[in-house]
Homo-oligomer: A and B are copies of this chain.
Amino acid sequence: MIELAPTHKYGLSLPTPVMPAAGVFGYGDVYRDLLEEGVLGALVTNPISLRPRNVAQGQRILTRGEQVLLHTGLPNAGAKAILRQYGKYWERSPVPVIPHLVATTPAETSKAAVLLSAARGVGGIELGLAENVSEDKAVELLHAAQDSGLPLIVQVPFSRVDALAPRLVEAGADALTLTAPPRAVLPLPDAPEDKAESGTRLMRGRLYGPAVFPLLLNVLARFAAPGANQLHVPIIACGGVASPADALTCISLGAAAVQVDVLVWRTPGVLREIAAAFKAL
């Protein structure tokens, strides 16, 4: 068992330290035909906000070599509708459900956190922050999410780990997910009609793919590694993990657990392989 909230009154213990990253696994049931129960240590959901969010306009995904750029707009039906649709499923979940909560305003964040915590099966909440959130605002949002009473994990934006991670721990985060994907930009492929238009059309989004892994390891080496971990909370590694070996490398660098991101779509079985590697330890 892995404990992700050792100082929290309820704790958050996982049978195995592998889970999907927010945004790659839906709300729990869509991989039922491809992955048997008991593979995951926890179920991190797609982003959930208090109010429904629509899907982003324009290009939402772009690949270039091994890289994947993603911009979905964090669409979701809103906390209430999602609870109605998935509450029963979460209740029966053999592992803790960790809704990923989109931090918007403190008031909305608090409301959504309280709503989600009422669902049986929910073992903790993961909070997602905007890349450019101020340090004070981040702490405010953290406190709002703590109104749930449940263990609170914060997913820290890639470019903000130095500034935010210590503040969030000090403010009471039970665990940190390091990191949310880096922000990136790519030119859109020219549509033939657009050749005439001046300027390059760009897509902004989050960067996924194997190149993120060496960047993640650098963060772990600085913030999680035995000896270097000044944070004193469990760290969940997230970013480009592609194999059981990668997952074990994260653990050897001080991570308590790992999240697998877009690789799940191509190779859902990688979650099973990683879980098996941990079982074999």
Contact = CB atoms under 8 A, between A and B. Distances in A.
A67 B249 contact: no
B69 A66 contact: no
Contacts of A253: 185, 200, 202
B218 A214 contact: no
How many copies the complex holds: the figure is 2
B64 A252 contact: no
Interface string A160-193: 0010000000000000000000111111000000
Given A66-B66, A217-B184, A207 B211 contact: yes
Contact of A204 (B183, B184, B218): B218
A57 B213 CA distance: 24
A221 B200 CA distance: 12
A65 interface: yes
A127 to B, nearest CB: 22
Interface string A200-223: 101010010111111101101100
A183 B252 contact: no
A186 to B, nearest CB: 5
Interface in A246-269: 248-249, 252-253
Nearest to A251: B200
B64 A221 contact: no
Tell which of A184, A199, A248 has the most Cβ of chain B within 10 Å.
A184
A54 interface: no
Contact of A214 (B69, B210, B217): B69
Contacts of A248: 200
A159 interface: yes
Given A186-B213, A207-B214, 15 more contacts: A64-B213, A65-B210, A67-B210, A67-B211, A69-B214, A182-B215, A182-B218, A185-B253, A187-B245, A187-B249, A199-B252, A200-B252, A202-B221, A202-B253, A207-B215
30 contacts: A64-B210, A64-B213, A65-B66, A65-B210, A65-B211, A66-B66, A67-B210, A67-B214, A69-B214, A182-B215, A183-B218, A184-B214, A184-B218, A185-B217, A185-B220, A185-B221, A186-B213, A186-B214, A187-B249, A199-B252, A200-B249, A200-B252, A200-B253, A202-B253, A204-B218, A204-B221, A207-B211, A207-B215, A210-B211, A211-B211
